Copies of this chain bind each other. A is one copy, B any other.
Amino acid sequence: MGEPILRLGMIGGGPGSFIGPVHRMAAELDGRIRLVAGAFSSDADRSRQAGAGYGIDPTRAYASHQAMIAAEASRADGIDMVAIVTPNHLHVPASIDALKAGLHVMCDKPAAISLTEMKGLAGVAAGAKGLYALTHTYTGYPLVREARALVAAGRIGKLRKVVVEYSQGWLSTALEQTDSKQAGWRTDPARSGVGGCIGDIGVHAFNLAEFVSGAAVRELCADLSIMVPGRRLDDDCNILLRFEDGSERGVPGVLHASQIAAGDRNGLRLRVFGTESGIDWSQETPNTLTINGLDGRTEMLHAGAGNLGAAARAATRLPTGHPEGYIEAFANLYRDFAAAIHAGAMPADLPGVEAGLRGMAFIETAVANSAARAGWVRLDV
Protein backbone atom coordinates (compact mmCIF):
# COMPACT_ATOMS: atom_id res chain seq x y z
CA MET A 1 0.00 0.00 0.00
CA GLY A 2 2.85 2.33 0.82
CA GLU A 3 4.53 1.92 -2.58
CA PRO A 4 4.24 4.74 -5.11
CA ILE A 5 1.76 4.34 -7.92
CA LEU A 6 3.52 3.24 -11.11
CA ARG A 7 3.11 5.31 -14.27
CA LEU A 8 2.29 3.38 -17.41
CA GLY A 9 2.73 4.23 -21.08
CA MET A 10 0.86 2.18 -23.64
CA ILE A 11 2.28 1.17 -27.02
CA GLY A 12 -0.53 0.35 -29.44
CA GLY A 13 -4.14 0.29 -28.39
CA GLY A 14 -5.39 2.93 -30.81
CA PRO A 15 -8.97 3.42 -32.02
CA GLY A 16 -10.69 0.06 -32.58
CA SER A 17 -8.33 -1.86 -30.34
CA PHE A 18 -9.87 -4.54 -28.17
CA ILE A 19 -6.93 -5.31 -25.98
CA GLY A 20 -5.75 -1.76 -25.31
CA PRO A 21 -8.71 -0.82 -23.13
CA VAL A 22 -8.46 -4.18 -21.39
CA HIS A 23 -4.87 -3.44 -20.45
CA ARG A 24 -5.94 -0.05 -19.15
CA MET A 25 -8.69 -1.51 -16.98
CA ALA A 26 -6.50 -4.34 -15.75
CA ALA A 27 -3.54 -2.12 -14.99
CA GLU A 28 -5.59 0.41 -13.04
CA LEU A 29 -8.04 -1.92 -11.30
CA ASP A 30 -6.13 -2.17 -8.06
CA GLY A 31 -5.03 1.42 -7.90
CA ARG A 32 -1.31 0.66 -8.09
CA ILE A 33 -0.65 1.62 -11.69
CA ARG A 34 -1.99 4.54 -13.71
CA LEU A 35 -1.99 4.98 -17.46
CA VAL A 36 -0.47 8.40 -18.11
CA ALA A 37 0.94 8.28 -21.63
CA GLY A 38 0.72 6.34 -24.85
CA ALA A 39 1.96 5.82 -28.38
CA PHE A 40 -1.43 4.53 -29.38
CA SER A 41 -1.04 4.93 -33.12
CA SER A 42 1.60 5.94 -35.64
CA ASP A 43 -0.88 8.55 -36.79
CA ALA A 44 -0.55 11.50 -34.43
CA ASP A 45 -4.18 12.51 -34.64
CA ARG A 46 -5.39 9.00 -34.02
CA SER A 47 -3.00 8.68 -31.11
CA ARG A 48 -4.37 11.86 -29.54
CA GLN A 49 -7.92 10.70 -30.17
CA ALA A 50 -7.20 7.42 -28.44
CA GLY A 51 -5.47 9.22 -25.61
CA ALA A 52 -8.55 11.33 -25.03
CA GLY A 53 -10.60 8.16 -24.77
CA TYR A 54 -8.24 6.87 -22.12
CA GLY A 55 -8.50 10.21 -20.31
CA ILE A 56 -4.82 11.13 -20.53
CA ASP A 57 -3.14 14.46 -21.09
CA PRO A 58 -3.08 15.20 -24.86
CA THR A 59 0.56 16.19 -24.70
CA ARG A 60 1.40 12.66 -23.63
CA ALA A 61 -0.22 10.94 -26.62
CA TYR A 62 2.68 10.24 -28.95
CA ALA A 63 2.97 9.07 -32.55
CA SER A 64 5.71 6.51 -31.89
CA HIS A 65 6.98 4.54 -28.97
CA GLN A 66 10.42 6.00 -29.57
CA ALA A 67 9.02 9.49 -29.16
CA MET A 68 7.17 8.49 -26.03
CA ILE A 69 10.22 6.90 -24.46
CA ALA A 70 12.37 9.91 -25.21
CA ALA A 71 9.89 12.51 -24.06
CA GLU A 72 8.82 10.71 -20.95
CA ALA A 73 12.44 10.16 -19.92
CA SER A 74 12.83 13.90 -19.59
CA ARG A 75 9.85 14.35 -17.27
CA ALA A 76 10.10 14.10 -13.52
CA ASP A 77 6.79 12.24 -13.59
CA GLY A 78 7.68 10.19 -16.66
CA ILE A 79 6.53 6.65 -17.20
CA ASP A 80 7.99 3.75 -15.25
CA MET A 81 6.72 0.98 -17.48
CA VAL A 82 5.14 0.23 -20.84
CA ALA A 83 2.32 -2.03 -21.94
CA ILE A 84 2.84 -3.33 -25.46
CA VAL A 85 -0.47 -4.13 -27.16
CA THR A 86 0.41 -3.91 -30.85
CA PRO A 87 0.21 -6.70 -33.40
CA ASN A 88 2.91 -9.30 -32.86
CA HIS A 89 5.56 -8.01 -35.22
CA LEU A 90 6.10 -4.91 -33.10
CA HIS A 91 6.36 -6.71 -29.76
CA VAL A 92 10.09 -7.27 -29.75
CA PRO A 93 11.25 -3.97 -31.23
CA ALA A 94 9.17 -2.05 -28.73
CA SER A 95 10.21 -4.30 -25.86
CA ILE A 96 13.89 -3.83 -26.65
CA ASP A 97 13.61 -0.07 -26.93
CA ALA A 98 11.76 0.13 -23.65
CA LEU A 99 14.14 -2.16 -21.81
CA LYS A 100 17.12 -0.25 -23.14
CA ALA A 101 15.56 2.91 -21.78
CA GLY A 102 15.36 1.33 -18.35
CA LEU A 103 11.61 0.84 -18.45
CA HIS A 104 9.68 -2.21 -17.29
CA VAL A 105 7.74 -4.05 -19.99
CA MET A 106 4.38 -5.80 -19.89
CA CYS A 107 4.03 -7.30 -23.36
CA ASP A 108 1.06 -9.00 -24.95
CA LYS A 109 1.55 -12.51 -26.26
CA PRO A 110 2.98 -14.11 -28.33
CA ALA A 111 6.21 -12.47 -27.31
CA ALA A 112 7.66 -12.25 -30.82
CA ILE A 113 7.24 -13.33 -34.40
CA SER A 114 10.07 -15.86 -34.29
CA LEU A 115 12.20 -17.72 -31.82
CA THR A 116 15.30 -16.00 -33.17
CA GLU A 117 13.78 -12.61 -32.57
CA MET A 118 12.77 -13.69 -29.09
CA LYS A 119 16.29 -14.85 -28.32
CA GLY A 120 17.51 -11.38 -29.22
CA LEU A 121 15.06 -9.91 -26.76
CA ALA A 122 16.13 -12.40 -24.12
CA GLY A 123 19.70 -11.17 -24.45
CA VAL A 124 18.65 -7.58 -23.97
CA ALA A 125 16.38 -8.44 -21.07
CA ALA A 126 19.14 -10.32 -19.30
CA GLY A 127 21.16 -7.15 -18.97
CA ALA A 128 18.33 -4.72 -18.46
CA LYS A 129 17.37 -2.83 -15.37
CA GLY A 130 13.70 -3.18 -16.17
CA LEU A 131 11.65 -6.30 -15.72
CA TYR A 132 9.82 -8.09 -18.55
CA ALA A 133 6.46 -9.85 -18.23
CA LEU A 134 4.17 -11.50 -20.76
CA THR A 135 0.38 -11.43 -20.56
CA HIS A 136 -0.48 -15.08 -20.43
CA THR A 137 -3.67 -13.80 -18.90
CA TYR A 138 -5.16 -17.13 -17.98
CA THR A 139 -2.42 -17.76 -15.44
CA GLY A 140 -3.94 -14.88 -13.51
CA TYR A 141 -7.15 -16.70 -12.61
CA PRO A 142 -7.23 -17.63 -8.94
CA LEU A 143 -8.17 -21.23 -9.57
CA VAL A 144 -5.45 -21.68 -12.16
CA ARG A 145 -3.04 -20.67 -9.46
CA GLU A 146 -4.76 -23.03 -7.05
CA ALA A 147 -4.41 -25.81 -9.61
CA ARG A 148 -0.71 -25.11 -10.03
CA ALA A 149 -0.25 -25.08 -6.27
CA LEU A 150 -2.18 -28.32 -5.82
CA VAL A 151 -0.13 -30.10 -8.46
CA ALA A 152 3.10 -28.81 -6.96
CA ALA A 153 1.97 -29.98 -3.53
CA GLY A 154 1.37 -33.49 -4.80
CA ARG A 155 -2.41 -33.49 -4.66
CA ILE A 156 -2.75 -35.37 -7.95
CA GLY A 157 0.20 -37.69 -7.28
CA LYS A 158 2.67 -38.30 -10.08
CA LEU A 159 1.77 -36.75 -13.43
CA ARG A 160 0.11 -39.14 -15.87
CA LYS A 161 -1.66 -37.17 -18.60
CA VAL A 162 -2.46 -33.65 -19.75
CA VAL A 163 -5.35 -32.60 -21.98
CA VAL A 164 -5.57 -28.94 -22.93
CA GLU A 165 -7.91 -27.39 -25.43
CA TYR A 166 -8.72 -23.91 -26.64
CA SER A 167 -11.74 -23.84 -28.87
CA GLN A 168 -13.07 -20.73 -30.60
CA GLY A 169 -15.33 -20.30 -33.59
CA TRP A 170 -15.07 -16.63 -34.47
CA LEU A 171 -12.85 -17.20 -37.52
CA SER A 172 -15.22 -19.76 -39.04
CA THR A 173 -15.78 -17.37 -41.90
CA ALA A 174 -13.26 -15.31 -43.84
CA LEU A 175 -13.62 -12.41 -41.44
CA GLU A 176 -10.26 -11.05 -42.55
CA GLN A 177 -11.85 -10.18 -45.87
CA THR A 178 -14.22 -7.82 -44.08
CA ASP A 179 -13.04 -4.71 -42.24
CA SER A 180 -12.35 -6.64 -39.04
CA LYS A 181 -9.13 -5.21 -37.65
CA GLN A 182 -8.87 -8.11 -35.20
CA ALA A 183 -9.13 -10.75 -37.89
CA GLY A 184 -6.93 -8.82 -40.29
CA TRP A 185 -3.64 -8.83 -38.50
CA ARG A 186 -4.14 -12.21 -36.87
CA THR A 187 -4.30 -13.90 -40.28
CA ASP A 188 -1.47 -11.91 -41.83
CA PRO A 189 1.97 -13.56 -41.64
CA ALA A 190 3.70 -10.20 -41.83
CA ARG A 191 2.12 -9.04 -38.62
CA SER A 192 1.49 -12.34 -36.83
CA GLY A 193 4.50 -14.48 -37.69
CA VAL A 194 4.31 -18.09 -38.81
CA GLY A 195 1.47 -19.05 -36.50
CA GLY A 196 -2.23 -18.25 -36.85
CA CYS A 197 -4.42 -20.07 -34.40
CA ILE A 198 -1.38 -21.62 -32.77
CA GLY A 199 0.19 -18.23 -32.16
CA ASP A 200 -2.98 -16.52 -31.06
CA ILE A 201 -4.45 -19.11 -28.71
CA GLY A 202 -2.53 -22.39 -29.05
CA VAL A 203 0.36 -20.78 -27.25
CA HIS A 204 -1.94 -19.85 -24.36
CA ALA A 205 -2.98 -23.48 -24.06
CA PHE A 206 0.64 -24.60 -24.20
CA ASN A 207 1.64 -22.08 -21.55
CA LEU A 208 -1.25 -23.02 -19.29
CA ALA A 209 -0.44 -26.73 -19.52
CA GLU A 210 3.18 -26.17 -18.51
CA PHE A 211 2.22 -23.59 -15.87
CA VAL A 212 -0.17 -25.88 -14.04
CA SER A 213 1.46 -29.27 -14.61
CA GLY A 214 4.88 -27.99 -13.72
CA ALA A 215 6.24 -30.18 -16.50
CA ALA A 216 7.83 -29.11 -19.78
CA VAL A 217 6.75 -30.36 -23.18
CA ARG A 218 9.74 -32.22 -24.65
CA GLU A 219 8.28 -33.67 -27.87
CA LEU A 220 5.33 -33.02 -30.09
CA CYS A 221 3.61 -34.20 -33.22
CA ALA A 222 1.42 -31.54 -34.79
CA ASP A 223 -1.37 -31.32 -37.31
CA LEU A 224 -2.20 -27.75 -38.25
CA SER A 225 -4.78 -26.85 -40.86
CA ILE A 226 -6.15 -23.97 -42.80
CA MET A 227 -9.82 -24.73 -43.05
CA VAL A 228 -11.19 -21.44 -44.38
CA PRO A 229 -10.38 -21.10 -48.06
CA GLY A 230 -7.98 -18.31 -48.85
CA ARG A 231 -6.63 -17.96 -45.33
CA ARG A 232 -2.85 -17.78 -45.06
CA LEU A 233 -2.25 -19.04 -41.53
CA ASP A 234 -3.47 -22.08 -39.62
CA ASP A 235 -6.89 -21.83 -38.03
CA ASP A 236 -6.99 -25.29 -36.46
CA CYS A 237 -4.33 -27.18 -34.48
CA ASN A 238 -4.23 -30.67 -33.04
CA ILE A 239 -1.03 -31.72 -31.35
CA LEU A 240 0.19 -34.81 -29.54
CA LEU A 241 2.52 -33.99 -26.68
CA ARG A 242 5.02 -35.70 -24.45
CA PHE A 243 5.95 -33.99 -21.21
CA GLU A 244 9.29 -34.45 -19.52
CA ASP A 245 9.23 -36.53 -16.38
CA GLY A 246 12.62 -38.19 -16.57
CA SER A 247 11.18 -41.43 -17.93
CA GLU A 248 12.03 -42.93 -21.28
CA ARG A 249 8.82 -41.97 -23.05
CA GLY A 250 7.59 -39.11 -20.93
CA VAL A 251 4.01 -38.27 -20.05
CA PRO A 252 1.40 -38.18 -22.81
CA GLY A 253 -0.71 -35.19 -23.60
CA VAL A 254 -3.00 -33.65 -26.18
CA LEU A 255 -3.46 -30.04 -27.17
CA HIS A 256 -6.18 -29.00 -29.54
CA ALA A 257 -7.02 -25.47 -30.48
CA SER A 258 -9.26 -24.01 -33.09
CA GLN A 259 -10.67 -20.77 -34.34
CA ILE A 260 -13.05 -22.53 -36.71
CA ALA A 261 -14.91 -24.58 -34.09
CA ALA A 262 -18.22 -23.05 -35.10
CA GLY A 263 -20.19 -21.65 -32.19
CA ASP A 264 -17.45 -22.01 -29.60
CA ARG A 265 -16.65 -18.90 -27.65
CA ASN A 266 -13.44 -18.86 -25.65
CA GLY A 267 -13.23 -22.49 -24.67
CA LEU A 268 -9.94 -22.87 -22.89
CA ARG A 269 -9.98 -25.96 -20.71
CA LEU A 270 -7.23 -27.83 -18.93
CA ARG A 271 -7.24 -31.28 -17.43
CA VAL A 272 -4.24 -32.67 -15.61
CA PHE A 273 -4.29 -36.24 -14.39
CA GLY A 274 -1.99 -37.89 -11.91
CA THR A 275 -1.79 -41.18 -10.12
CA GLU A 276 -4.16 -39.98 -7.38
CA SER A 277 -6.63 -37.60 -8.96
CA GLY A 278 -7.38 -35.37 -11.89
CA ILE A 279 -8.07 -31.65 -12.00
CA ASP A 280 -10.26 -29.84 -14.46
CA TRP A 281 -10.62 -26.12 -15.12
CA SER A 282 -12.53 -24.19 -17.78
CA GLN A 283 -12.03 -20.55 -18.57
CA GLU A 284 -15.68 -19.79 -19.26
CA THR A 285 -16.61 -20.85 -15.73
CA PRO A 286 -13.35 -19.80 -14.11
CA ASN A 287 -14.52 -19.65 -10.54
CA THR A 288 -14.75 -23.37 -9.96
CA LEU A 289 -12.03 -25.99 -10.05
CA THR A 290 -12.98 -29.64 -10.15
CA ILE A 291 -10.92 -32.42 -8.64
CA ASN A 292 -11.94 -36.00 -9.32
CA GLY A 293 -10.46 -38.60 -7.03
CA LEU A 294 -9.76 -42.29 -7.44
CA ASP A 295 -12.33 -43.00 -4.75
CA GLY A 296 -15.13 -41.74 -7.00
CA ARG A 297 -15.59 -38.47 -5.19
CA THR A 298 -15.56 -35.11 -6.95
CA GLU A 299 -14.51 -32.00 -5.11
CA MET A 300 -15.22 -28.53 -6.40
CA LEU A 301 -13.29 -25.53 -5.18
CA HIS A 302 -14.69 -22.03 -5.48
CA ALA A 303 -12.78 -18.81 -5.99
CA GLY A 304 -12.85 -16.64 -2.92
CA ALA A 305 -13.41 -19.49 -0.51
CA GLY A 306 -11.42 -19.66 2.66
CA ASN A 307 -10.22 -23.18 2.04
CA LEU A 308 -8.04 -22.24 -0.92
CA GLY A 309 -4.29 -21.87 -0.81
CA ALA A 310 -2.42 -18.62 -0.42
CA ALA A 311 -1.81 -17.98 -4.12
CA ALA A 312 -5.48 -18.33 -5.01
CA ARG A 313 -6.65 -16.32 -2.01
CA ALA A 314 -4.33 -13.49 -2.94
CA ALA A 315 -5.82 -13.42 -6.43
CA THR A 316 -9.41 -12.57 -5.52
CA ARG A 317 -10.98 -9.32 -4.42
CA LEU A 318 -14.48 -10.50 -3.54
CA PRO A 319 -16.17 -13.02 -1.27
CA THR A 320 -16.91 -16.43 -2.74
CA GLY A 321 -19.89 -16.53 -5.05
CA HIS A 322 -19.24 -13.06 -6.44
CA PRO A 323 -17.81 -13.84 -9.88
CA GLU A 324 -14.54 -12.34 -10.95
CA GLY A 325 -13.60 -12.70 -14.58
CA TYR A 326 -11.12 -12.02 -17.31
CA ILE A 327 -10.38 -8.42 -16.38
CA GLU A 328 -9.64 -9.38 -12.80
CA ALA A 329 -7.38 -12.23 -13.93
CA PHE A 330 -5.58 -9.79 -16.16
CA ALA A 331 -5.34 -7.32 -13.30
CA ASN A 332 -3.68 -9.99 -11.20
CA LEU A 333 -0.80 -10.04 -13.67
CA TYR A 334 -0.47 -6.28 -13.43
CA ARG A 335 -0.72 -6.31 -9.65
CA ASP A 336 1.93 -8.99 -9.40
CA PHE A 337 4.10 -7.15 -11.87
CA ALA A 338 3.81 -3.97 -9.84
CA ALA A 339 4.86 -5.90 -6.76
CA ALA A 340 7.73 -7.44 -8.71
CA ILE A 341 8.89 -4.02 -9.80
CA HIS A 342 8.87 -2.78 -6.24
CA ALA A 343 10.66 -5.93 -5.11
CA GLY A 344 13.13 -5.81 -8.00
CA ALA A 345 12.59 -9.41 -9.08
CA MET A 346 10.11 -11.53 -11.00
CA PRO A 347 8.14 -14.14 -9.04
CA ALA A 348 8.08 -17.72 -10.30
CA ASP A 349 4.43 -17.64 -11.27
CA LEU A 350 4.51 -14.57 -13.49
CA PRO A 351 5.27 -15.44 -17.14
CA GLY A 352 8.29 -13.59 -18.53
CA VAL A 353 11.26 -14.17 -20.82
CA GLU A 354 11.38 -17.92 -20.28
CA ALA A 355 7.68 -18.28 -21.12
CA GLY A 356 8.29 -16.17 -24.22
CA LEU A 357 11.14 -18.35 -25.39
CA ARG A 358 9.23 -21.56 -24.81
CA GLY A 359 6.11 -20.20 -26.46
CA MET A 360 7.98 -19.16 -29.58
CA ALA A 361 9.78 -22.50 -29.74
CA PHE A 362 6.44 -24.23 -29.47
CA ILE A 363 4.88 -22.20 -32.28
CA GLU A 364 7.78 -22.62 -34.67
CA THR A 365 8.32 -26.28 -33.93
CA ALA A 366 4.67 -27.14 -34.35
CA VAL A 367 4.31 -25.23 -37.60
CA ALA A 368 7.39 -26.88 -39.09
CA ASN A 369 6.49 -30.31 -37.81
CA SER A 370 2.99 -30.14 -39.18
CA ALA A 371 4.27 -29.11 -42.59
CA ALA A 372 6.68 -32.04 -42.66
CA ARG A 373 4.09 -34.58 -41.48
CA ALA A 374 6.97 -36.67 -40.27
CA GLY A 375 6.02 -37.80 -36.82
CA TRP A 376 7.54 -36.66 -33.60
CA VAL A 377 10.01 -33.87 -33.02
CA ARG A 378 11.77 -32.54 -29.95
CA LEU A 379 10.75 -29.19 -28.60
CA ASP A 380 13.99 -27.34 -28.08
CA VAL A 381 14.38 -23.69 -27.22
A residues engaging B (CB < 8 A)? 1-2, 5, 18, 21-22, 24-25, 28-32, 52-55, 156-157, 160-161, 163, 165, 167-170, 172-173, 221, 223, 225, 227, 236, 238, 240, 242, 249, 252-254, 256, 258, 260-267, 271, 273-278, 283-288, 291-302, 304-308, 317-328, 373-376
Contact = CB atoms under 8 A, between A and B. Distances in A.
B277 A262 contact: yes
A322 B320 contact: no
Contact of A252 (B238, B308, B320): B238
A286 B323 contact: yes
A320 B277 contact: no
Nearest to A263: B292
B322 A296 contact: no
A262 B275 contact: yes
B261 A273 contact: yes
Given A256-B163, A256-B254, A328-B327, A318 B262 contact: no
A195 to B, nearest CB: 16
B55 A5 contact: yes
Given A327-B327, A374-B375, A277 B263 contact: yes
A209 to B, nearest CB: 13
Contact of A321 (B28, B55, B284): B284
Nearest to A306: B296
Contacts of A264: 273, 278, 292, 321
Contacts of A161: 227, 236, 258, 260-261
A311 to B, nearest CB: 16
Contact of A238 (B55, B240, B307): B240
Contact of A285 (B221, B273, B285): B285
Given A223-B242, A238-B254, A298-B302, 16 more contacts: A25-B317, A32-B55, A161-B227, A169-B273, A169-B294, A238-B240, A238-B252, A263-B273, A265-B305, A265-B320, A296-B307, A297-B299, A298-B301, A299-B299, A299-B300, A323-B323
Contacts of A236: 160-161, 252
B307 A295 contact: yes
A54 B34 CA distance: 13
